[in-house]
Amino acid sequence: MDSITPNEIDIVRASSSKINEIDFENLAFGNIFTDHMLMCDFRDGKWQKPTIKPYEPFLLDPSAKVFHYGQAIFEGMKAYKDESDDVWLFRPDENFRRFNASAKRMAMPEVPEDIFLGGLHEILKIEKEWVRKGKGNTLYIRPFMIAIGTGVIAAPSTQYRFMIILSPAKSYYSGEVKVIIAEHFSRAANGGIGAAKAAGNYSAQFYPTKLANDKGFQQIIWTDDATHTKLEEAGTMNVFFRINDTLFTAPTSERILDGVTRKSIISLAEREGIDIQVRSVLVAELVEAAKNGSLKEIFGAGTAAVVNPIVGFSYQDEYFELPKIENSVALKLKDKLTNIQYKLEEDTFGWTVKI
Amino acid sequence: MDSITPNEIDIVRASSSKINEIDFENLAFGNIFTDHMLMCDFRDGKWQKPTIKPYEPFLLDPSAKVFHYGQAIFEGMKAYKDESDDVWLFRPDENFRRFNASAKRMAMPEVPEDIFLGGLHEILKIEKEWVRKGKGNTLYIRPFMIAIGTGVIAAPSTQYRFMIILSPAKSYYSGEVKVIIAEHFSRAANGGIGAAKAAGNYSAQFYPTKLANDKGFQQIIWTDDATHTKLEEAGTMNVFFRINDTLFTAPTSERILDGVTRKSIISLAEREGIDIQVRSVLVAELVEAAKNGSLKEIFGAGTAAVVNPIVGFSYQDEYFELPKIENSVALKLKDKLTNIQYKLEEDTFGWTVKI
């Protein structure tokens, strides 16, 4: 995994660090970046030597394919610091595997493990001061790849740039999260790219989400595009529903991202003896459960959002408020998950990897 | 339309032109750009003053939203030179209108007419030598807009860049075009962004198209993602089917681009007394027509491809070769269309606009 040794990466150190200018207690998500970035180009059919260098803008041609055809993918990961000042990753192999699955679907070259995971280890060693101690503090990791080859013909690029940038982060959503169930707009097509972390999947949601925001809702729970009867995911999070004492979440598919937090929550629920069923949940079931009082919780799960309780949902202009409950399964699972991530509980799954 | 006068655009002239280095007889599509580009940024809630300046790379932050969320749209247009050395556009109002429809769907600001069309007039005046005389010679025009605001949070940017770049072009497809009818992969979802010229729509097709290329086919005719029974469009072209003496093309929808060439072909066919029906064509109908000999022609229509005859299609691993026919409707309509574009016939529709 860390088979890249420093002499296989060009490292150019920043002349000074901006870390002392950062107010770590008041961070907006994803706006501040650390002192360095990793950059590695693919050209002439192969990956070149990666470089870690000061975070800075770079030049691209106006005809770069990322601008015209959206050939771009990313991952979201986090680094955590334990009480002994050691830095940890959570299931990085899952992000690495998914990144290359996205690359394949977008006709981009796969990134070798020594560059993706090896490079990540190296840059995290350099930026370890940016990972702050204390539950809730993380260093958000954004590996991404863009098509940098030139030409306005709709065909895959022959040149790509893989990068890792790092952003100190607290929570993704602040405040209550209320959602709208999608009735018209959709996130993904059957046979489309919904399962890939492809750039275009996200901007496609901006307009419908803006309409939802204007009505006072933070997110949309997407439904299948053909019938809008099946609940799928929330775009930045997978979604779980608790009806009585059973948790439900949709199976992954071509339309639904195979979330690392989602699969970790499923494993934790199973370990904790919580009844969990991976199956499609119908909108009609959800509305019925809300009406008869059996719907106890809805929550989102994702790397950025962690586990995020949803306080209510709207469907066909009717708003359903979730009950205020004790013994929230969402909060229990969030606690179990973050205790593993921050090394406060034993990691019986072997999910954590030390830098 | 050309309400921008030169003193409202900053113009920085290239110190020399590279036009004499260009082999205009041997142009690969979209690889060579003219001496200048137009650039105009949106920030602080408004469009800034546009600049025409030498074509060159520009700097972007690694966290620019176009890289991570694919918030990017474009248009494809062409300029034509007539025998009197005048330069003409073809229905530029249609591209302008569609560009802003795409902007709305992608939660981007609309570009004002004086910047889009006024700016285009100005840059074409400067680059008029790049538009070559003679049918088949064009200057391909690529207006596009990208999100340049920074931050790795999945939300619309507050800063954008609108650009126009120009590329001398001959034909888009060289050689025969054979297509595969999509049976698994899809281009667009109901309630998705298929009707927008959004960057992500194009890279989503690269992998399935590569699989088609590997089998010896140049393009895919996409079908509806829910049932794969209805023929839609070809990604870079709308598609027409001639069964006996009737032309069919799918109605535009949320999944199908409202092509300027498509609608021009419909108008021309009507004027020429060709029976044309705008309705969904089923895959089963097409296969049946191919089997009983009533399928005479299939052709694609798009700005880059113009009118492109398709010589055969594959469905469920069976290949159907189109007949070699005289009196091709595709070639007749292509001739009528290009005669208007190059001012060789009277433009009774008022489609052409002089620079």
The predicted structure's pLDDT at residue B247: 98
Evaluate whether A117 touches A98 at the Cβ level (below 8 Å). Answer: no
Distance from CA of A131 to the nearest CA of B (A): 17
Parallel, antiparallel, or unpaired: how do β-strands A246-249 and A238-243 relate?
antiparallel
Q: What is the pLDDT of residues A85-108, one digit of tens each?
A: 999 999 999 999 999 999 999 999
The mean pLDDT of B242-262, rounded to a whole number, is: 96
Burial (CB count <10 Å: 0-12, 13-18, 19+), residue B354: exposed
DSSP character for B8?
Answer: G
Point out the least confidently predicted range of B1-10, B155-164, B310-319, B334-343: B1-10
DSSP A218: S
Q: Taking residues B7-33, report their average pLDDT.
A: 93
Tokens of A143: 């590996």
Contact B164, B141 (CB under 8 A): yes
The answer to whether A297 touches A328, Cβ cutoff 8 Å, is yes
Q: Token pair 């586990």 is at which residue?
A: A307
Mean pLDDT of chain B: 95
3-state helix, strand, coil in chain B (%, to 5): 25, 30, 45
Q: Hey, is the C-beta of B182 within 8 angstroms of any chain A C-beta?
A: yes
Record: contact A68-B104, CB cut-off 8 A: no
Query: Which of A33-37, A142-146, A302-306 is the least confident region?
Result: A302-306
User: What letter represents residue A188's amino acid?
Assistant: A
Q: Which of A90, A78, A183 is nearest to A132 (CA)?
A: A78
Select the residue from B206, B218, B227, B257 to test the A interface by mutation, using most A Cβ atoms within 10 A.
Answer: B206
Nearest CA in chain B to A255: B189
DSSP A114: I
- A152 and B105: CB-CB below 8 Å? no
Distance of residue A292 Cα from the nearest chain B Cα, in angstroms: 31
Copy the structure tokens of residue A48.
Answer: 């070149």
**A161, A47 Cβ separation under 8 angstroms:** no
Q: What is the distance between the alpha carbons of residues A178 and A220, in angstroms, rounded to a whole number?
A: 9
Q: Which residues of B touch A302 (CB under 8 A)?
A: none
Residues B335-350: tens digit of each pLDDT? 999 999 999 999 999 9
pLDDT (0 to 100) of residue A173: 66
Q: What is the mean pLDDT of residues A30-43?
A: 97
- Interchain contact, B154 vs A202, CB within 8 Å: yes
Supply the pLDDT for residue B176: 87
Instruction: Please check whether residue B45 is in contact with residue B130, taking contact to mean a CB–CB distance below 8 angstroms.
Output: no
Q: Which residues of B touch A163 (CB under 8 A)?
A: 62
Contacts of A205 in chain B (CB under 8 A): 154
For residue B218, which phi and psi values (nearest 5 degrees)?
A: -90, -30
Which residue type does A132 have?
Answer: R
Residue A303 is predicted with a pLDDT of 93
CA distance A69 to chain B (A): 4
Going from the C-alpha of A266 to that of each of A262, A277, A313, A335, A346, the distances in angstroms are 6, 9, 23, 14, 18
Name which of B60, B151, B186 is nearest A189 (Cβ-Cβ): B186
Q: If you write DSSP's letter for every residue of B211-261 in order, what string do you get?
A: HHHHTT-SEEE-B-TTTS-EE-B-SSSEEEEEETTEEEEPPPBTTB---HH
User: Length of chain B in residues, anyone?
Assistant: 355
Amino acid A229: pLDDT: 97
Largest Cα separation within chain B, whole Å, is: 64
User: In whole angstroms, what is the distance from residue B336 CA to residue B86 CA?
Assistant: 20
Distance CA A27, CA A33 (A): 11
Q: Which of residues 67-106 of A touch B (CB under 8 A)?
A: 67-72, 74, 104-106
Please report which confidence band the pLDDT of residue A3 belongs to, taking 50, 70 and 90 as the band edges: low
The span from the CA of B63 to the CA of A32, in Å, is 10
State in words which class domain B177-341 has.
Answer: alpha beta
Asked if B62 and A60 come within 8 Å (Cβ–Cβ), the reply is: no
- CA dist list (Å): A274 to A239, A307, B293: 16, 16, 62
Question: What does the pLDDT read at residue A1?
Answer: 47
Residue type, B60: L
- Asked if the model's pLDDT at residue B1 lies above 50, the reply is no
The H or E element that residue A79 is part of is: strand A77-81
Give percent above pLDDT 90 in chain A.
Answer: 92
Return the H-helix or E-strand segment holding A203.
Answer: helix A199-203
User: Per DSSP, what are the bridge partners of residue B78?
Assistant: B140
Tell me the C-alpha distance between B92 and B98, whole Å: 10
**Residues A50 and A38: beta-carbon distance below 8 Å:** yes
Q: B188 and A192 in contact by Cβ < 8 A?
A: yes
Q: How far apart are CA B298 and CA B290, in angstroms?
A: 11
pLDDT at position B108 is 98
**d(CA B35, nearest CA chain A) in Å:** 13
Query: By CA distance, what is A218's nearest residue in B?
Result: B155
3-class DSSP assignment, residue B207: helix
| Amino acid making up residue B59 | L
Cα B61 → chain centroid: 29
Give the pLDDT confidence score for residue B103 in this predicted structure. Answer: 98
User: In Å, how far is B287's CA from the nearest CA of chain A?
Assistant: 22
Are residues A225 and B150, on separate chains, in Cβ contact within 8 Å?
no
Structure confidence at residue B175 (pLDDT): 77
The span from the CA of B342 to the CA of B335, in Å, is 10
- For residue B294, the distance in angstroms to the closest alpha carbon of chain A comes to 31
Q: Would the CB atoms of B156 and A30 count as touching at under 8 Å?
A: no
Which CATH class for the A6-170 domain?
A: alpha beta
Distance from CA of B274 to the nearest CA of A (A): 32
pLDDT at B7: 66
Q: Among B115, B129, B130, B113, which residue's Cα sits nearest to residue B166?
A: B130
- Among A33-42, A57-66, A173-182, B335-344, where is mean pLDDT lowest? A173-182
Which residues have a Cβ under 8 Å from the Cβ of B332 and sit 6 or more positions away?
Answer: B272
Q: Which amino acid is at A317?
A: D
- The C-alpha of A337 sits at a distance from chain B's nearest C-alpha, in angstroms, of 23
Which residues on chain A are in Cβ contact (under 8 Å) with B156?
Answer: 203, 206, 210
Q: What pLDDT, in 10s, does the model give residues B90-139?
A: 999 999 999 999 999 999 999 999 999 999 999 999 999 999 999 999 99
- Hey, is the C-beta of B253 within 8 angstroms of any chain A C-beta? no
User: What is the reported pLDDT for A175?
Assistant: 77
Tell me the C-alpha distance between B188 and B222, whole Å: 9
Average pLDDT over every residue of A181-201 = 96
Q: Which of residues 11-70 of B touch A (CB under 8 A)?
A: 28-31, 33, 37, 55, 57-63, 65-70
Phi-psi region of A107 (alpha: psi -120 to 50; beta: other; left: phi over 0): left
Do the bridges between strand B177-181 and strand B219-221 make them parallel or antiparallel, or are there none, so unpaired?
parallel
Using one digit for the tens of pLDDT, what is the confidence trace for A127-151? 999 999 999 999 999 999 999 999 9
pLDDT score of B172 more than 80: no
B204, A192 Cβ separation under 8 angstroms:
yes
3-state SS assignment for residue A271: helix
> Which residue from B minimizes the CA distance to A101?
B207
Specify the pLDDT at position A2. Answer: 47
Checking if the pLDDT of A4 tops 90, the result is no
Chain B residues in contact with A144 (beta carbon < 8 A): 67-68
Q: What is the mean pLDDT of chain A?
A: 95
> What sign does the dihedral A14-A20-A25-A26 (CA atoms) show?
negative
Q: Are B198 and A204 within 8 A, CB to CB? A: yes
Q: What's the rounded Cα separation, in Å, for the pair A99 and A102? A: 5
Q: Using a CB–CB cutoff of 8 Å, tell me whether B219 touches chain A.
A: no
DSSP state of A18: -
Side chain identity at A352, as an amino acid letter?
T
Is B222 in the A-facing interface, judged by CB distances under 8 Å? no
Mean pLDDT of B212-224: 96
CA distance B275 to chain A (A): 32
ipTM higher than threshold 0.85: yes
Residues of chain A above pLDDT 70, percent: 97
> Given this model, what pLDDT does residue A344 score?
96
Separation CA A155–CA B218 (nearest Å): 11
Distance, in Å, from the CA atom of A242 to the CA atom of A284, rounded to the nearest integer, reads 15
Handedness of CA B57, B58, B61, B67 (dihedral sign): negative
- Tell me whether domains A6-170 and A177-341 share a fold: no
Confidence of residue B3 (pLDDT cuts 50, 70, 90): low
| CA–centroid distance for A281 within its chain | 22
- Cβ-Cβ contacts under 8 Å, A182 against chain B: 191
CB of A144 within 8 Å of a chain B CB? The answer is yes
- Distance in angstroms (rounded) separating the CA atoms of residues A314 and B312: 49
Does position A249 have pLDDT exceeding 60, yes or no?
A: yes
The residue extents of the domains of chain B are 6-170, 177-341
Closest approach of A40 to chain B, Cα-based (Å):
13
- Report yes or no: A154 and B74 within 8 Å, Cβ to Cβ: no
Residue of B102, B138, B139, B152 to mutate, testing the A interface (most A Cβ within 10 Å of its Cβ): B152
Closest CA to A215 of A316, A297, A99, A106: A316
Q: How many CB pairs under 8 A join A and B?
A: 234
- A152–B142: do the CB atoms touch at under 8 Å? yes
- Non-local CB neighbours of A244 within 8 Å, separated by 6+ positions: A294, A296
